[in-house]
A and B are shown apart, each in its own frame.
Chain A
Amino acid sequence: MSEEATKVIPFPRRRSPGPGTARARKVIAVGGGKGGIGKSLVSANLGIALAGRGATVVLLDADLGGANLHTCLGVGQPTVSLSDFINNRVARLEDTIVPSGIERLGLIAGAHDGLDAANPRHAQKTRLLRHLRALDVDYVILDLGAGTAFNVLDFFLAADLGLVVLLPEPTSIENAYRFIKTSFFRRMQGLTDPGVAEAMSVVLSGRDPTARTPWDLVTRLRIDNPAGATQLEMLLGGFHPWLVVNQARTRADHDIGPTIAAAWKKFFGLELGYLGTVGHDDAVWMAVRARQALLTTAPSSAASLGVMRLAENLLALDR
């Protein structure tokens, strides 16, 4: 990987809505450790649900390797896509938005033309994020690719809200923890104070007997590097992913989200929210087969209701 591609994108400032506007302008990233866990399902239908509640939404298929968000929406392969923007064939990101068939919901289809788009350079990522934030909508939802590549993590971390999708099964839970940990470490690489960054990497590698956790480091830095301590504290406190459990079948499956969030906090002292659970539902694959959006074809199915609760919880975060 090139030197440039590994550079950390600066952590974004949360925008306060401009005067006279009620726009949240929130970028939501939907990630998770592996493929096939419902990231696209959640992204697409969350978009539909938010649009249904009156928000303007743009869905961006950021799965640079396996874009298929359009299928989840029941839209054919669009003629214009993210690759046109990444490769500078289109100057403005707005011009890649295609209608989704749903009011107030636009789609930016995923890149389809090969390796170049699957591995954007740092400058391209920065440009994409800048344009994303400039979109005049309430929510931008990024449907991320699988895995923990820096390209995925950087979009996850750059978002205002990072959702981690997981299934209630050991492999998926393990992957979710891995995803969260790796993105945390990636975030720590964004420390600009070289002294703090160095100290932090020692802590994270377990080689510092005096500071076993990042919080110990904050305490220690407080004495001789208060500014560094504050920077680290902000970075730690601002790391706050949200869990979405998908394909829950049993009662215990419905409990797993809150438990994971609580366990993470207990063991690491870091924040992790729980946004909600979507049940396993045959309506999902029936919709996929029919190449229709779940919320459009089966709005009263259990899975749809689950997604709508996610949307309500998201909206409540902004209240």
Chain B
Amino acid sequence: MKPFAAQSYYELLEISASASAAEVRGAWQRLTRMYADDQLALYGLATPETAAALRKRLLEAMEVLSDDELRSMYDEELGLPPRDPAREEPEASQLEMGELLRGADHSVASTHPRVAFTWSEPAGPPVAPPPPPGFVPPSTGAATPRPSPSAPAAELPVPVAAPFSPVAELPVPVAAPSAPVAAPSAPVAELPVPVAELPVPVAAPSAPVAAPPRAAEAERLSEEHALSMLPRASPVPAPAPRASAPPPAAPERPRMPELAPDTEYNGELLRKVRTALGLSLAEVAERTRIGAKHLENVEADRYDQLPATVYLRGILMSLAKELRLDGLKVARSYLLLVERIRSKG
């Protein structure tokens, strides 16, 4: 089991890898309400910032998992087998953000316009990708979606193991701890009371705690420290040097740029690779079904005009594939740049 910042989207939303788009949406709605600022249950547990960070991740998870294309890519990143399309909901990819966000937590509502894009199905078998940033390698515990020895032979695609909360009404997909604790079987179900709004207004939490009565060491074991156990938002990557060569003026089939393992894939480089392959922007747009405008912005490194990271990742992966580059590498490298610029701004 991992804290939310390290959980996969499935774990975050407490759903199985085979959940339908409707289930994804339902889970997101339920959890967003559950972790609203006025929730009594959060009193003394999470600061408003931490709760907001969680809701942001929930939103991101919902955005990705309720979009067929993004979800397929994400599954591939996780190493999950492709889903059975027969079980999928038809309107899954038609999801309207406006509808989803109605009555929800607007403080974390995505301000990015929904990107109208679909891209061609990746051909060929998925290559086992390296874990993308933000994922925790499977060795950290049984909570990773990959089957681990300590997870009792669960069906492969389910990233969550048998719950052992005695509450039947809570579909908490508690990951079986890789711990020695004898996971008890689920006891009797209790009160199927539906989620009700809590009218209790709660003052901002994070009251300091009386440290345990012990010398220096125990003194630090206060509530703030407990809260500091909480992971911060996504780690800011180490800055990488920016390539600054001016764009070549001649459009005549330029040389393929050098691509070292540590090459930074900025828009300019991507454009060079494209032109070296003799592809026009329109051609790539046509093949990837990514809007030419987006491609242009990617290549021009206009980070402020790019869509939300979750969509951008998909765009970059498709584009990279068209350019015969390693999609994960390109996406990671490019997103680092974006992140860096955005966090400065």
Contacts and interface: CB of A to CB of B under 8 A. Distances in A.
Interface of A: 1, 6, 14, 148-150, 168-170, 173-175, 177-178, 181-182, 184-186, 189, 201, 203-206, 212-216, 218-219, 222, 233-234, 236-238, 240, 250-252, 254-271, 273-277, 309, 312-319
Pick the 8 closest A-B CB pairs, nearest first: A237-B179, A206-B228, A316-B187, A174-B44, A237-B177, A317-B184, A313-B187, A269-B3
A314 B187 contact: yes
Contact of B178 (A150, A237, A309): A237
Nearest to A203: B229
B50 interface: yes
Given A252-B196, A318-B184, A265 B213 contact: no
Contact of B50 (A6, A203, A267): A267
Interface in B1-26: 1-6, 14
A262 B137 contact: no
B231 A212 contact: yes
Nearest to A220: B140
Given A148-B212, A204-B220, A255-B193, 18 more contacts: A150-B212, A170-B200, A173-B43, A205-B220, A212-B231, A213-B229, A216-B140, A216-B231, A222-B140, A254-B193, A257-B167, A261-B170, A269-B143, A274-B166, A274-B167, A312-B187, A316-B187, A317-B184
B1 A206 contact: no
Chain A contact surface mostly: helix
A316 to B, nearest CB: 3
A314 to B, nearest CB: 7
B249 interface: no
Highest count of chain B CB atoms <10 Å: which of A149, A189, A265: A265
B145 interface: no
B41 A173 contact: yes
A177 B45 contact: yes
Interface stretch (B76-84, B201-209, B238-246): B201-209
Interface string B298-310: 0000000000000
B21 to A, nearest CB: 22
A234 B180 contact: yes
A216 B2 CA distance: 9
A227 B5 CA distance: 26
Nearest to A263: B41
Interface in B223-261: 223-226, 228-232
Interface in B169-188: 169-170, 172, 174, 177-182, 184-188
Contact of B188 (A14, A252, A316): A316
A269 B1 contact: yes
B179 A213 contact: no
A149 B218 CA distance: 12
B166 A267 contact: no
B121 interface: no
B141 A218 contact: yes
Contacts, number: 221
A240 B6 contact: no
Contacts of B174: 265, 271
B206 to A, nearest CB: 10
B123 interface: no
A262 B11 CA distance: 12
Nearest to A276: B190
A316 B190 CA distance: 13
Highest count of chain A CB atoms <10 Å: which of B40, B41, B136: B41
A38 to B, nearest CB: 17
Contacts of A312: 187-188
Contacts of B196: 250-252, 255
26 contacts: A6-B214, A170-B203, A174-B207, A181-B223, A185-B226, A204-B225, A215-B140, A218-B140, A218-B141, A222-B140, A236-B179, A252-B196, A254-B193, A258-B167, A259-B39, A260-B45, A261-B165, A261-B170, A263-B35, A263-B42, A267-B50, A268-B226, A273-B166, A277-B190, A312-B187, A314-B187
B134 to A, nearest CB: 13
A261 B171 CA distance: 12
A213 B3 CA distance: 8
Contacts of A240: 177, 181
B166 A276 contact: yes
B59 interface: no
B34 interface: yes
